[in-house]
Amino acid sequence: MREKLVCYDYTGNIAMALTSRERIMRLMRGEPIDVIPWFPRIDLWYNFHKRQKTLPPEYELTMEELIKKIGGGIYHRGAPLYRERLRNVEIEIWYSNPIWKDRIENADVGLDRNYILGLVLQSLSHSKGNVLVKFKEVTTLGGDEVLVQFETPRGKVSAKFVTSEMLQEAGIRPYQSEYFIKDINKDLGPLKYIIGNIDLEPAFDDFTKTDTMVGEEGIVWARVSPYYSPMHQLMYIYMGLEQTCLALYDHKNKFDEIVEFIEVSLNKVHELCLDSPALFVNHGGNFDSTVLGPELFEAYFVPYLSKFAEKLHSKNKFLVVHVDGEMKNLMDLFPLTNSDVAEGFTPSPMTQVSFHEALRMWAGKVVIWGGIPATLLSKDTYEDEFYGYIRTLLDEGKTSPFVLSMGDNTPIDADLKRLEKVSEMVNRTAIN
């Protein structure tokens, strides 16, 4: 197993002028840095105001240009390494509001951020693979609903999605209200067929272009698709939380069968990641210990993530895991995943874990990336309270360096002038 990085107590004078990328790489290697790396995440705020045409005049820039104007480093969270193509299935899309047909045919913003709808969009744009896509207007669905049915030689499965004008305007993915597996005895065969008929087409050139574009201004992460580890795929994509819990206890053998099948399918993804130019691979997360207890985390997440991490470490690559949820009962277990970066870390008051507690438990084991709760970015928070919190974080970082960012995003009512002030505070707080 790869030796874990060590965060040092830095002493003496360190005279540096590091780029954002150099700062991250030094931190990952446990080497001295000049100031805390600062990587603001503003995509929720930016996408909403851009679609609403409410960007302030001074911020009418690309997102990357705006982050540079703020004074932060750029982290591109979702650069793809490959494209997924379905084979040998028929897809039928049911809708009552014709706007759904237009949205799908035109790959409207937000749809591709849902895994199943993303597969549909890629199938529409791909002429090979013997995939037939048909649209069917019905009266049995609400205007905000769309149902996607997959027909396979082993049977049919379907999933239903709901959106709203507000979600669409903000570019937020539709809400999934119905999942493929409704009866594990009946639906397991079709689901395994679908997963087994997804081809991967490397897109390393696309990743390299993004990496070159970002350059020394930041870092680019490859995003594994499906984003989640096997059990979370069942919870978030294929079964839903209720059916997952029922199957876990009522049909344990079949449940473990599909978990293992998904893991085997993900091994193809792992191999692509290992052969790719990406140094950071973003995979898994969105844990909630109020739903997912320590026993299940240790049984289904620690083994999978630690195996993937060890593969990446053998190629001098890093595993990034998104930990924006309630981690209170998982803090001791998470380092056992051998992950390198705990990204999107969200402390109290939004969760039960303070940032100080996270540093105490994870320093020297995993790099924390986050720390600013979204509630403090709202205009409802007094400036003195906000800046006092940032000052405390930066003081903690002098002895236990981390990456300052959002947990998990910047709310749409935030004042970005505060983020510019954070940049000034970061640059004035040397690590010594």
Per-residue pLDDT tens, the chain, 432 aa: give them.
Answer: 334 333 333 334 444 589 999 999 999 999 999 999 999 999 989 988 998 899 999 999 999 999 999 999 999 988 889 989 898 999 999 999 998 998 888 887 678 888 999 888 888 876 566 788 899 999 999 999 999 999 999 999 999 999 877 777 666 788 899 999 999 999 999 999 999 999 999 999 999 999 999 999 999 999 898 889 999 999 999 999 999 999 999 999 999 999 999 999 999 999 999 999 999 999 999 999 998 999 999 999 999 999 999 999 999 999 999 999 999 999 999 999 999 999 999 999 999 999 999 999 999 999 999 999 999 999 899 999 999 999 999 999 999 999 999 998 999 999 999 999 999 999 999 986
Please report whether residue 52 resides in a domain.
Answer: yes
Instruction: List, in order, residues 6 or more apart from 165 with CB less than 8 Å away.
Output: none
Q: Total domain count for the chain?
A: 2
Please report whether residue 401 resides in a domain.
Answer: yes
Count other Cβ atoms within 10 Å, centred on residue 19.
13
Upper half-sphere CA count for residue 72 (Cβ side, 13 Å): 25
Please report whether residue 8 resides in a domain.
Answer: no
Residues 176 and 262 in one domain: no
Please report whether residue 6 resides in a domain.
Answer: no
Residues 163 and 139 in one domain: yes
Residues 238 and 386 in one domain: yes
Task: For the chain, count helices (H), then strands (E).
Answer: 17, 14
Residues 190 and 233 in one domain: no
Are the beta carbons of 426 and 60 closer than 8 angstroms?
no
Residues 174 and 55 in one domain: no
Residues 115 and 222 in one domain: no
Are the beta carbons of 287 and 323 closer than 8 angstroms?
yes
Please report whether residue 11 resides in a domain.
Answer: no
Residues 278 and 421 in one domain: yes
Please report whether residue 243 resides in a domain.
Answer: yes
Residues 93 and 165 in one domain: yes
Are the beta carbons of 303 and 387 closer than 8 angstroms?
no
What token pair was written down for 247? 């199957």
Alpha carbon distance 369, 73 (integer Å): 13
Q: Which domain holds residue 309?
A: 20-82+202-427
- Give this prediction's pTM: 0.92
Residues 59 and 174 in one domain: no
Residues 118 and 25 in one domain: no
Domain boundary among 195, 210, 233: 195
Q: Give the number of residues written for the chain.
A: 432
